[in-house]
Amino acid sequence: MQEIGIRELKQRASDILKRVREKRETITITYRGRAVARLVPVEGRETRVAEALAIWAEMDTLAQEIGAHWPPGVTAAEAVQEQRREL
């Protein structure tokens, strides 16, 4: 991640925004050497949907793993109750 000062941002705003838009760079804006803002590319709907689908797929895999080791005849509510009793 690159840092640029406010003065440089003012002078080269179009070029900097082009880098963010086309190269998907994230740029930190500084004022007197301290970070004050960040320019980040906006994620499109497709990216968010793909990330959400990946998360759901991981959750499905985890559910299958838990199900493979779950004792037969025990409900989730019973398992939680049992854990509470142990505390």
The sheet carrying 34-39 orders its strands as 2-5, 27-31, 34-39
Distance CA 4, CA 16 (A): 9
Number of domains composing the chain: 2
- The yes-or-no verdict on residue 50 having pLDDT over 80 is yes
Same domain, 33 and 8: yes
Mean pLDDT of 50-66: 94
Residue 59 and residue 29 share a domain: no
Range of the domain at 79: 45-86
Looking at the structure, tell me whether residues 61 and 31 fall in a common domain. Answer: no
Given this model, what pLDDT does residue 18 score?
94
Q: Is the pTM of this model over 0.75?
A: no
The confidence score (pLDDT) of residue 76 equals: 86
Residues 33 and 49 in one domain: no
pLDDT at 48: 82
How far apart are alpha carbons 37 and 54 in whole angstroms?
30
Q: Is the pLDDT at 30 greater than 80, yes or no?
A: yes
pLDDT of residue 59: 96
Residues 30 and 53 reside in one and the same domain: no
